Amino acid sequence: MSRPGLFITFEGIDGAGKSSHIEGLAEAFRTQGRAVTVSREPGGTPLAEKLRELVLNDAMDALTESLLIFAARRDHLRNVIEPALARGDVVLCDRFTDATFAYQGAGRGFDLEVLSNLERMAQTGLAPDASLMREPDLTVWFDLAPDVAAQRLSTARVPDRFESQPAEFFARVARGYADRAAAAPQRFARIDAAQERHKVWQQLTSVFVRRGWLAIMVATQGGPR
């Protein structure tokens, strides 16, 4: 019998280091015989990637930004995420709706009720079960103090419209993630992202081992370089 799909999302403020671990995790799942789809938001389809470019580079108000992000999300769900879950894939998605609540909601101060309405509109009415609101099975939250994240980012690439925000913005975003995690403790797994890379990898794999989604041996490996 084929195994059911798994929808796993990765969240955290910019600089928390989540993206570099996603490929390692994909490899661990593949080694254990699972088909894996790796994707990201905003983005993941040709249309959603065009919307990503606009959202990350063009000035706009918070409602316009939220509408574009949820439009990208719906296209991504329809064309990539739902078909992959229907095939039984493990879907590893770098950011999803918690990022909208953290960045547009907590960071920019946009109305959380409007975001909840947009969430419902964008994430329901999808095959195979139109009545279901699609949500992640698990959200891995890379928790890192904003000042540490800012230090890490200062040596990284040219900042986009969000990465160039002031420290207070990231403090609000971090609180936004903490609020989301407190509201859905079953769905969230918190990772202490301040630790050394191999320790972050250990924490990460043990989350999956505890849920029975990866075999124990993976937790003892060194993780991605």
Give the residues lining the site for ligand TMP (CB under 6 A): 14, 40-42, 56, 69, 94-95, 99-100, 103-104, 162-163
- Min separation Cβ 14 and ligand TMP, Å: 5
Torsion of CA 87, 25, 193, 140, to 10 degrees: 20
Contact 148, 171 (CB under 8 A): no
Q: Which of 70, 99, 83, 78 is nearest to 10 (CA)?
A: 99
Nearer to ligand TMP, 82 or 94 (CB): 94
Nearer to ligand TMP, 14 or 75 (CB): 14
**CA 147 to chain CA mean position, Å:** 21
- Min separation Cβ 108 and ligand TMP, Å: 8
Q: Which of 153, 144, 134 is nearest to 91 (CA)?
A: 134
Helices (H) and strands (E) in the chain, counts: 9, 5
End-to-end CA gap in the chain: 35
- Min separation Cβ 12 and ligand TMP, Å: 9
Nearer to ligand TMP, 141 or 213 (CB): 141
Nearer to ligand TMP, 21 or 218 (CB): 21
- Min separation Cβ 70 and ligand TMP, Å: 8
